[in-house]
Amino acid sequence: MEYRYMGKTGLQLSVLSFGSWVSFHKQIDDSIADTLMGIAYDHGVNFFDNAEVYALGESEKMMGRVLKNKNWERSSYVLSSKVFWGWRGKGNRPNQHGLSRKHIVEACHEALERLQTGYLDLYYCHRPDKKVPIEEVVWTMHHLIQQGKILYWGTSEWSGVEIMEAHRVAQQYGLIGPVVEQPQYNLLERNKIENEFLTIFNTVGLGTTIWSPLASGLLSGKYNEGIPEDSRFALSGFDWLKDRWMQESFLTKVKGLGALAKELGISQAAMSIAWCIRNPHVTTAILGATKKEQLNENLKALDALPLLTDEVMQQIEGIVKTKPVLPEY
Ligand SMILES: NC(=O)c1ccc[n+]([C@@H]2O[C@H](COP(=O)([O-])OP(=O)(O)OC[C@H]3O[C@@H](n4cnc5c(N)ncnc54)[C@H](OP(=O)(O)O)[C@@H]3O)[C@@H](O)[C@H]2O)c1
């Protein structure tokens, strides 16, 4: 396993990590979660990602039970949660979601309880909250760090402007600013990492824990001939995700990538994940899996990495044609 420093911090994350969105509680039980986290940890994965909203709190509870059962040294892994949507779904009342001081603090306490841990290594604002002053968010996160309840804080799907506004506030008051962002990044979704955040990487610094490296599984090629019954796009309540990705233009590209992966003698999933972590601005790619075969295949991205030469990267580019266009001189 390779480990990378998270932006300008002293924290090292394994370049492949593991998350629980959709899968934990909705698709897999404690026993499979235990197997998958065990496989990940044994391969050197040291970062496990979660959020209050995943399976409405049940995902954190499941990960907490697995971690308790594993009894790994707490210092050997990095654990995260995220605040924004709350965990009551449509039952949320005012202050039970969003980024007010009240919800951030209460959500943190609840996440600690569900995960059965004394502190979170990383705590993310899962989305920007346009109704809450960024000052309130930065002060609250700073206090949680001072209280030892979280060690680092960051954002997810914030714009570059919002991240820099948080830094402006932090600098103004001498507070700890956000050090990590969790954006989507894969062969079909590239703008934030390859364009919007470039100035931030070069100035205040920013770690990135990227999500959906396989575009919810699409880039594994599993949807090329339709939607398998036991797959994410077949789940009820996920039509929005299926509609987002099951488009002819994407599937044509995915099929092209499949042919190239075959030539290279690697799986399409491993190639697509390796492509993500080949970018040095990516600290870690968070993997998702519902079966141990998937996770074992995805961990082979580390072996696939050296095969992605400049020439192969150009071939990939020729297939996907998704590189953001930047001004040239
Ligand atoms: N911050 C955010 O807003 C945000 C949003 C989304 C995710 N995340 C984080 O990022 C993590 C990863 O995201 P993701 O789950 O969307 O990642 P992904 O790698 O794009 O998709 C993972 C899913 O694809 C399928 N899959 C994975 N490997 C496969 C393989 N080799 N062959 C066939 N199918 C395969 C599995 O679903 P099926 O078996 O069900 O088809 C698996 O659960 C999440 O767990 C979460 O921690 C964060």
The CA 218 to ligand 1 mean position distance, Å, reads 10
pLDDT tens digits for range 271-322: 999 999 999 999 999 999 999 999 999 999 999 999 999 999 999 999 999 9
SS3 85: coil
CA-to-CA separations, 77 to 11, 122, 190, 271, in angstroms, rounded: 11, 11, 28, 26
Hey, whose CA ends up nearest to atom 22 of ligand 1? 288
Tokens of 114: 């569900």
The CA 212 to ligand 1 mean position distance, Å, reads 5
Q: Report how many domains make up the chain.
A: 1
Domain annotation covers residue 61? yes
Q: From 39, 214, 282, give the residue whose CB has the most ligand 1 atoms within 8 Å, as the site to mutate.
A: 214
pLDDT band for 49, please (50, 70, 90 cuts): very high
pLDDT at position 59 is 98
Chain centroid, CA 182 distance in Å: 5
Hey, whose CA ends up nearest to atom 47 of ligand 1? 19
The CA 10 to ligand 1 mean position distance, Å, reads 27
pLDDT tens digits for range 221-277: 999 999 999 999 999 999 999 999 999 999 999 999 999 999 999 999 999 999 999
Give yes or no for a contact between 129 and 98, defined as CB atoms under 8 angstroms apart: yes
List the beta bridge partners of residue 181. Answer: 155, 208
| 19 backbone dihedrals φ, ψ, rounded to 5° | -125, 170
Domain annotation covers residue 258? no
What integer is the mean pLDDT of 18-31? 97
Domain annotation covers residue 298? no
Cα torsion at 104, 109, 115, 117 (round to 10°)?
120
Predicted TM-score of the model (pTM):
0.98
CB-based pocket (< 6 A), ligand 1: 19-21, 23, 27, 49, 156-157, 182, 211-217, 220, 222, 231-232, 269, 286-290, 294, 297-298
User: Beta strands of the chain (E only): which ranges?
Assistant: 3-5, 12-14, 16-19, 47-49, 78-83, 120-125, 150-155, 180-181, 207-210, 284-287
Which residues have a Cβ under 8 Å from the Cβ of 167 and sit 6 or more positions away? 177, 178, 204
Which residues have a Cβ under 8 Å from the Cβ of 34 and sit 6 or more positions away? 66, 69, 70
What integer is the mean pLDDT of 139-162? 98
Hey, whose CA ends up nearest to atom 35 of ligand 1? 217
Hey, whose CA ends up nearest to atom 15 of ligand 1? 288
14: left (phi over 0), alpha (psi -120 to 50) or beta: beta
Domain annotation covers residue 241? no
Domain, as residue range, for 68: 3-225+277-291
pLDDT at position 308 is 98
The CA 20 to ligand 1 mean position distance, Å, reads 8
DSSP 194: I
pLDDT tens digits for range 10-20: 999 999 999 99
Domain annotation covers residue 215? yes
Domain annotation covers residue 246? no
Domain annotation covers residue 76? yes
Domain annotation covers residue 265? no
The CA 19 to ligand 1 mean position distance, Å, reads 8
CB atoms under 10 Å from CB of 12, counted, come to 16
Hey, whose CA ends up nearest to atom 30 of ligand 1? 294
148: left (phi over 0), alpha (psi -120 to 50) or beta: left
Which residues form the catalytic set? 54
What CATH number is given to the structural domain containing 47? 3.20.20.100
Q: From 220, 224, 233, give the residue whose CB has the most ligand 1 atoms within 8 Å, as the site to mutate.
A: 220
CB atoms under 10 Å from CB of 104, counted, come to 26
Give yes or no for a contact between 205 and 8, defined as CB atoms under 8 angstroms apart: yes
